[in-house]
Chains A and B, each alone.
Chain A
Amino acid sequence: MDSLILKTGTRLLTALMLVFSIFLLFRGHNEPGGGFIGSLVATTAFCLYAIAFGVTEVRKALVIDPKILSIVGLALSLLAGLMAIVQGDMFLTGVWSPAYVDGSSALPLSSVLVFDVGVYLVVMGAVLTVVFAIEEDKL
C-alpha cells in the first residue's frame, strides 16, 4: 500500500510503540505487563511498518532473521531457568543479584528479567515469522 498519510503516521507510531513495549517489558516485573504483552506491542509496531513500507524494509530494519530471534530468545529463557543451579535451587527459581539481596543496591537485577527478555524475543520472532510468511506469500 502506498499512502503518504499511513507512511507519515507509521513513522511516528512505530517509534512510540517500540518505546512503550520496552516500558511494558520492564514494568511487568512487579506490575501488569511483561515479556509476552510487551512483545506483542512491538510485533504490532513491526506489522504496521510492514503494511506501510513492505516486508523487505522491516527485514532490513530488524537486521536479524525473526526465526533466529525466537531461537535466541528460547535459549535465553532456558539459560535464565538454569541459573538456579548455581545456588543449588530447582530449575526456574529466581536468582537475584547479591547487591539487591543485601539491600546495597536498589536495582533488582535477576534471572527473572532474563527470562522475560527471552519470552519477549520468542514471541516477537514467532509471530513475525508467521506474519512475514503470509505477507511474502501474497506477492
Chain B
Amino acid sequence: MSWLPAWPILIPIVTAIIGFLVGRSPGLQRAVSVAGAGLLLVAGVALMADVWSNGIVATQMGSWPAPFGITLVADHLSAVMVVITGITGLAVVVYGLADIDRERVRFGFHPMLHFLLCGVCGAFLTGDIFNLYVWFEVMLISSFALLVLGGDKEQLDGAVKYVALNLISTVLFLSAIGLLYGLTGTLNMADLHRVIPTVENQGLLTAVAVMFIVAFGIKSAVFPLFFWLPASYHTPPVAIAAVFSGLLTKVGVYALIRTFTLIFTHDTGYTHTILLWIAGLTMVTGVLGAAAQNEMRRILSFHIISQIGYMVMGLALYTPLGLVGSVFYLVHHIIVKANLFLVSGVANRLTGSFELKKIGGLYKSAPFLALLFLIPAFSLAGFPPLSGFWAKLVLIRAGLEIESWWIVATALIVGLLTIYSMTKIWGQVFWEPHPQGFDPSPDKGPLKVSRRDYLLLTAPIAVMALMTVIIGLFAGPFYELAERSAAELLDPTAYVAAVLGPDALGPTVAEGAAR
C-alpha cells in the first residue's frame, strides 16, 4: 500500500492542528505554516514523480477494499493538480507573511488556509464521489472562515452571498449523489464507470448528469451561475483572494472533468453539447463583465469566469486534443490568476487603492513590479511564448479539428477582449501618473513598504511569473503531461484497473455486449 496519495491530505491537517495549538504566538504559527506548505509541495512532487514513472497510484483508506472503502487515486491529472496546489499554497503563505495582519494571524489565518489546502488536495485525490462531497464541505467551511476573517462589513456581505449560493450547490450535489447511488448502488467512481452502461433507466441517468453540471457549475462559476464570485472575491485580503481565485473554482472544473469523462459518458451528444454552450457563454459574459469594471480585483474576478469557459470548452469538445487543452489550461490558469491577484495586492499597498481611477505611476516607481504584472497579464491574454499561448492554441486547434467554428471564433474574440482589460489595468495603474501626484515607490513613497515586506510580497510573484515563462518556453514536457492526463481521462481502463484490480472491467463489458 502506497502512502504517497495520502500525504498531500495529511500534511495540511497536521500543519493546521499544530498551527492551532501554537495559536498564541503569531511568529511560531507563521513558521509552522511555511514549513507545512513546503512539505505539501514536496509531497506533491514526490507523488507526481511516482505517477510519471509508474502510472496511476491507488490506495485504499483503512485497508477496506474498493468499491466498499474510500479509495484515493492519483493519475496524472490529480498529481499535477496537487503539485500546483502546493505551489500556490506556498506562494500565498509566503506572501501572507507580509500581507496578513497580526490580528488575522491570531484568529487563525494560517491553520484555516491549510484546512482549505487539505480540502482541495482531498478533492483532487479521492476516487469516491461521496468523499468528493465531503472534501467540498471541508473547502466550503474553511473558505467561509477565511472570507469572514477580520470581519469587515464588506467581507460579511460578500461571505453571505458566497455561502448561500455554495450551499445550494452542495445540496444539489448531495441529492444528485443520492439519486446516482439509487440507480447504480455504488459510490466508487471507478465502479460507477463500470456499472453505468448496465443501468436500465438511461434517461434518468442523464437527468442526474445535468444535476451534476449545475452543482459543479455553481462551484466553478460558469454562466449563468457565477454571480457569487464577483460579489465576494474582492472582499477578503489579497492573499486569501489569490488562493480562492487560483484554486477553488478550478476544483469545480476538475470535478466536472472527472465526472464527465469517467462517469457520465453515456450520452455525450446531450451533456457535452450543454457544456459547450455553457463554455461559450461563460467566456463571453465573463470578459464583457470584466470590461465594465473599474476595480482591479473585480476585473480579475470576472476574468476568472471567462477563463473557466476555456477549460470547460476543452471538456465539452471531448476529443483527445480538447482534453489536453483543458488540462494545460487548468495548470496555466492557476499560476497566472493567483499571480495577478498577488500583483494587485502589491499595487494596492504602494498606491493606496484598487480603484483604477485613484491609482497610477507604478511603471516609473516600481519598474520590477510592472514587469511582474506584464508577464502573467500577457500570459492570460495568450501571447506567445507564454504558457497561455500554448493553452489557447491547443484548445483552438481542437475546436478547428472537429469544425466547431463558432466556439473557436468565440474563444479568439474573447482572447482579444482579455487584452483590452489587461491594457486598461496596465495603462491606468502603471503608465498614468498617480492622480494625487505622489511617487508610489516602495522605499520613498508615502505608503512606505519595508524592504523585508516588499521582498516577501514580490518573491512569490517573481517565482510564479518565471514558471509561466518556463511553461511557455519549454512546453514539451508539460504538453506531454497534459497528453498523458487526457489519454487517461478518455480511456479510463487503467484508472478502473488501478482501483478495482486488473480484471474488473472484463465481465461487465461482456454482460453489456450480451444484452
Contact = CB atoms under 8 A, between A and B. Distances in A.
Interface in B2-17: 3, 6, 10, 13-14, 17
Contact of B62 (A71, A74, A78, A94): A94
B344 interface: no
Contacts of A74: 13, 17
A60 to B, nearest CB: 21
Contacts of B59: 90
Interface in A74-91: 74-75, 78, 82, 84-85, 88-91
Contacts of A75: 17, 21
Contact of B13 (A78, A88, A94): A78
Contacts, number: 37
B285 interface: no
Interface string B46-64: 0000000000000111110
Nearest to A89: B63
By secondary structure, the B interface counts as helix
A91 B13 contact: no
Contact of B3 (A67, A78, A91, A94): A91
Nearest to A74: B17
A22 interface: no
Interface string A42-80: 000000000000000000000000010001001100100
Given A85-B3, A90-B1, A78 B17 contact: yes
A13 interface: no
B17 A90 contact: no
B17 A91 contact: no
Given A78-B10, A85-B3, A93 B17 contact: no
B144 interface: no
Contacts of B6: 90-91
Contacts of B389: none
Interface residues of A, number: 15
A93 B63 contact: yes
A69 B13 CA distance: 16
A93 B65 CA distance: 11
Contact of B21 (A71, A85, A92): A71
B21 A93 contact: no
Contacts of B63: 84, 89-90, 93
Nearest to B63: A93
Contacts of A94: 62
A11 B25 CA distance: 39
Contacts of A91: 3, 6, 10, 61-62
B133 interface: no
B20 interface: yes
Nearest to A82: B10
Given A71-B20, A85-B3, A90 B14 contact: no
A85 B21 CA distance: 24
Interface in B45-101: 59-63
Nearest to A92: B62
A75 B60 CA distance: 22
Contacts of A71: 17, 20-21
A83 to B, nearest CB: 12
Contact of B60 (A67, A82, A85, A90): A90
A90 B60 CA distance: 7
A90 B61 CA distance: 6
A20 B81 CA distance: 46
Nearest to A75: B17
Contacts of A90: 1, 3, 6, 59-63
A78 B61 contact: no
B144 to A, nearest CB: 14
28 contacts: A67-B20, A71-B17, A74-B13, A75-B17, A78-B10, A78-B13, A78-B14, A78-B17, A84-B62, A84-B63, A85-B3, A88-B1, A89-B1, A89-B63, A90-B1, A90-B3, A90-B60, A90-B61, A90-B62, A90-B63, A91-B3, A91-B6, A91-B10, A91-B61, A91-B62, A92-B61, A92-B62, A93-B63
Interface of A: 67, 71, 74-75, 78, 82, 84-85, 88-94
Interface of B: 1, 3, 6, 10, 13-14, 17, 20-21, 59-63
Given A78-B13, A78-B17, A90-B3, 20 more contacts: A67-B20, A71-B17, A71-B21, A74-B13, A74-B17, A75-B21, A84-B62, A84-B63, A89-B1, A89-B63, A90-B6, A90-B60, A90-B61, A90-B62, A91-B3, A91-B10, A92-B61, A92-B62, A93-B63, A94-B62
